[in-house]
Chain A
């Protein structure tokens, strides 16, 4: 049985497609209309409104709160100023990814952490011997994401008690929407200008209504997970259990990933005297790098078209993002010009409506991870497998200046 989020009365009424997905036990709309294209373009040209309440939220308080957060996550948070938000993963003792999310510093002794999946027990166990309290506030906090070029204007008109226009990238502010006290963070999962709004469930519907009402003139659209999935791939953002497997759910060692292997090496910030969990293992890995890396892949569109044209079809690639693993090949060309070795696999792929390219996030051998490396990806046309040329490109695939500006 799926539950409704605090916004369910509104989202259910709007979800004409009747397309829902199970997100952590909640019904989450895949798209409100039968197709997600309009919603996708809301992300890139208007404002898309997502119900992200099923995210797990934790509150860390107490004199050792900062030390605890610093112990848990790979990024150094001790000197994170109040009002800042950090994106960071966290690892087990072996330095393998458990989950990722944002850390918000609300006060010197108060942090809020978002996570994809339950982590309370882990955070609490990390707190052993420290003067810090971790609470699961998932049910105490509803959440919306407002993403897109007009999102700033909508919030600027709506919000009282803070100057949204001046809110920097990855910063937070406490303010009001109508009567509702909210926290607004300039964060998101779309790679566009955008905000996330955190509020008590009892204010959920009023806030939703106010946003829709004010947003009407700014192209606001309630948006589902299908559009989000396309946007986050364009932004090069990882999805847990798709682009990496959590060390808690990986049944075998080889499925686990370190931050280095998942392209999150930049979040690993060794501290001089204290350890964060996994630091020692990651130090060893830094000295002796893994053979795996994350890479952006761009398939050669003419090559795809050619394969389809050969059987008389237009290029039938799925309109939605795909989470099916697809083999990647490379190697010395032999007779017949065929690549010979599988060097990795695509974890997420989509046709980017804005770039008009077929793009993918992939886990591949480090030797091939340099941008420009020629590779081949598997393509199935009329039940026959082919390989089409592709190349490694840097991520994000789409990175508008407004995201940070």
Chain B
């Protein structure tokens, strides 16, 4: 039987990053992906005939250029598209507010709504970017896990500390003050315009079930701003050919270094013997031996489904069970036969198009989720990728992918399995879309709704949480995924995690995959490690 150095469970983008990095170091790596396409939540699939639809994630603005260069992803077909519009907020009555990549144009645009806000905006952007730079230092390094580190690892902590200190001690303290703030408090301190505040607050919502008044929102705003965009807004970039092209390029890089990548191969179980991982068992019964197993699945799925709770200690299991996995997003894919009649639609709608007219609107949408209901008036985040990449759909057609928030996985009444519940959500989303983008509805040729339950069954995201765990203050840094296990190791010897459930967290960042690979490499070549053990 063939013996691998590492079997990577799942072909999501983080798993592929880990696989590529290990392959670069001459590890014999096998990646196993359940679906026919690679990428997991960052995949592109033919949802409508002849169309390349980004199944869940649309935007890879947080994927670091350095990592792409290291793995030479351009050579494997990755090409970035950055449309001039970052995001356009629909404020009702055919009105829109656009954040352009061009700062001057953005300030002009804001000034049309509120001159005072426009005047403050450059300072705001500076403020956020300065803090995001400090945060970035923390996210670029393994989490400081005070009790979970060797002496050498502790010394290594000094580097980010010094780096952060160089960015200004006051900034570090300011980050400590600001990070826990609710988006609302932070925005209220700066701006007056409801439209602007609503729009900026949306970056605080991704990865959380909470509304703009919840603490920790500012941290998520900063998290999404770590991609070095000019406005301290969500970093945005699209892969040509769909986000699946990024995953394909990662797989290409891995293969180029000798990794094997198998799709349509479901791992049923991680094999554990005497507390150590020995390989995986596939759904078809095949067993694959490996010196270590690396799971890109979320921690809940990894421990409870792939390893099995009885193989782990009850105290550890309690911690896994307490990881907050709370999907609150549904995704609606539309095939359109034209664009909605908004002035400059082709330009303004090329980035993210948002329904987030005021903070209160977002707040009320989140309120519904608190009581286990889908929002009456949801917040929408739409991307029309065909505007920057027409080849994704047949000529004369457009694709639109809309994130509908909030659609909580855990419904108090009804179930996502009921057609009535799904239909109601669809109707609500289309109704809101029609209010804010009149005429859009008439352009719909076909649609496909993915509820949080669909995200779970199709993409393997427990509770439909596309971040593999809420991005709250309590699940960041050394608390992610589980306090005491923030350094990619697990209680099962030779089993590692590399998915979004790990530090630094979710989104198409490659961060967990990169840091996990670093941690695994530091543990040493598996052969040496094994002989050391026996």
B146 at the interface (CB under 8 A from A): no
User: With A128-B309, A129-B310, A130-B310 as given contacts, are A93 and B318 in contact (CB-CB < 8 Å)?
Assistant: no
In the complex, which of the residues A92, A129, A130, A272 contacts B315, with contact meaning CB atoms closer than 8 Å? A92
Given contacts A128-B321, A129-B304, contact A122 B273 (CB under 8 A): no
Return chain B residues, CB-CB under 8 Å to A92: 315
Expressed in whole angstroms, the minimum distance between the Cβ of A68 and any Cβ of chain B is 8
| B309–A277 CB distance below 8 A | no
Of A128, A272, A280, which contacts B317 at CB under 8 A? A128
Residues of A near B317 (CB, < 8 A) are 125, 128-129
Complex Cα–Cα for A67 and B314 (A): 14
Interchain CA distance A130-B309 in the complex, whole Å: 8
User: Does B285 make an interface contact (CB < 8 A)?
Assistant: no
Residues of A contacting B313 with CB < 8 Å? Answer: 93, 275, 277
Q: How far is the CA of A273 from the CA of B273 in the complex (A)?
A: 6
Contact between A93 and B315 (Cβ–Cβ < 8 Å)? yes
How far, in whole Å, are A128 and B308 apart by their CA atoms in the complex?
9
Inter-chain CA distance A92–B317, complex, in Å, is 13
Cα–Cα, bound, A272→B309 (Å): 18
| Binary contact readout B294-334 vs A (1 if CB under 8 angstroms, 0 otherwise) | 00000000001000111101111110010000000000000
A152 is an interface residue with CB less than 8 A from chain B? no
Is the CB of A126 closer than 8 A to any CB of chain B? Answer: yes
- Number of A residues near B (Cβ < 8 Å) is 15
Across-interface contacts of B274 in A (CB, < 8 A): 272-273
Task: Tell me how far the C-beta of B267 lies from the nearest C-beta in chain A, rounded to whole angstroms.
Answer: 17
Does B168 belong to the interface (CB within 8 Å)? no
Question: Of A71, A129, A275, which is within 8 A of B275 by CB?
Answer: A275
The 8 Å CB contact of A71, one of B310, B315, B318, B321, is B310
B437 vs chain A, min Cβ distance (A): 47
CA A128 to CA B315, docked complex, whole Å: 11
Chain A 160-187, CB-CB to B under 8 Å as 1, else 0, gives 0000000000000000000000000000
What is the predominant secondary structure among interface residues of chain B facing chain A?
Answer: helix
Closest Cβ neighbor of A122 among chain B residues: B314
| Contact mask for chain A residues 109-129; partner B; CB cutoff 8 A; 1 contact, 0 none | 000000000000010011011
What residue of chain A has the Cβ atom nearest to residue B309's Cβ? A129
Closest to B304 in A: A129
The residue in chain A whose Cβ has the minimal distance to the Cβ of B274 is A273
A 266-282 to B, binary, CB cutoff 8 A, 1 in contact else 0: 00000011010100100
- Asked whether, in the complex, the Cβ of B304 is within 8 Å of the Cβ of A126, the reply is no
* A residues less than 8 Å from B309 (CB atoms): 128-130
In the bound complex, CA of A253 to CA of B193 (Å): 56
CA distance A71 to B321 in the complex (A): 19
Interface of A is mostly: loop
**A272 vs B318: C-alpha distance in the bound complex, in angstroms?**
25
Residues from chain B with Cβ under 8 Å of A275 in the complex:
275, 311, 313
- Return chain A residues, CB-CB under 8 Å to B321: 128
Residues of A within 8 A of B273 (CB): 273
Q: How far is B491's CA from A280's CA once the two chains are assembled, in angstroms?
A: 11
A246-276 contacts to B, CB under 8 A, are 272-273, 275
* Interchain nearest-CB distance for A286 vs B (Å): 15
Known: A273-B273, A275-B275, A280-B275. A93 touches B316 (CB 8 A): yes
Question: Interface centre among A67, A129, A272, by most B CB within 10 Å?
Answer: A129
Query: Which residues of chain A come closer than 8 Å to B315, judged between CB atoms?
Result: 92-93
How far apart are the CA atoms of A304 and B262 in the complex, in Å?
80
Q: Shortest beta-carbon distance, A102 to chain B, in Å?
A: 21
CA of A280 to CA of B304, assembled, Å: 20
Contact status A67-B310, CB under 8 Å: yes
Nearest CB in chain A: distance from B443 CB, A: 48
What is the CA–CA distance of A277 and B312 in the complex, to the nearest angstrom? 9
What per-residue 1/0 map shows which CB atoms of A57-95 lie under 8 Å from chain B? 000000000010001000000000000000000001100
Question: How far, in Å, is A270 (CB) from chain B's closest CB?
Answer: 10
CA distance A128 to B316 in the complex (A): 11
CB neighbours of B310 from chain A (8 A): 67, 71, 128-130
Residue of A nearest to B311 (CB): A275
Distance between Cα atoms of A272 and B308 in the complex (Å): 18
User: In the assembly, what is the distance between CA of A115 and CA of B311, in Å?
Assistant: 24
Query: Chain A: which residue is nearest B318 at the CB level?
Result: A125
B residues in contact with A93, CB < 8 Å = 313-316
Q: How far is the CA of A125 from the CA of B317 in the complex (A)?
A: 8
Nearest CB on A from B389, distance (A): 44
1/0 contact string of B272-293 vs chain A (CB within 8 Å): 0111000000000000000000
Interfacial chain A residues near B314, Cβ < 8 Å: 93, 122, 125-126, 128, 277
Cα-based distance from A47 to B273 in the complex (angstroms): 51
Residue of B nearest to A275 (CB): B275
Q: In the assembled complex, which residues on chain B have CB atoms less than 8 Å from the CB atom of A272?
A: 274
CA A355 to CA B275, docked complex, whole Å: 49
Closest B residue to A64 by CB, please name it: B310
Bound together, the chains give a CA A126 to CA B316 distance in angstroms of: 10
**In whole angstroms, how far apart are the Cα atoms of A80 and B311 in the complex?**
22
Q: Which residues of B contact A126 (CB under 8 A)?
A: 314
**Complexed CA–CA distance, A275 and B317 (Å):** 14
A67–B318 Cα distance when bound, in Å, is: 19
Give the 6 A-B CB pairs with smallest separation, nearest first: A129-B309, A93-B313, A128-B309, A125-B314, A126-B314, A93-B315
- A-B residue pairs in contact (CB < 8 Å), sample of 20: A67-B310, A92-B315, A93-B313, A122-B314, A125-B314, A125-B317, A125-B318, A126-B314, A128-B304, A128-B309, A128-B314, A129-B304, A129-B310, A129-B317, A130-B309, A272-B274, A273-B273, A275-B275, A275-B313, A277-B313
A-B contacts besides A128-B321, A275-B275, 9 pairs, CB < 8 Å:
A67-B310, A93-B313, A93-B314, A122-B314, A128-B317, A129-B308, A129-B310, A129-B317, A280-B275
A positions within 8 Å CB-CB of B: 67, 71, 92-93, 122, 125-126, 128-130, 272-273, 275, 277, 280
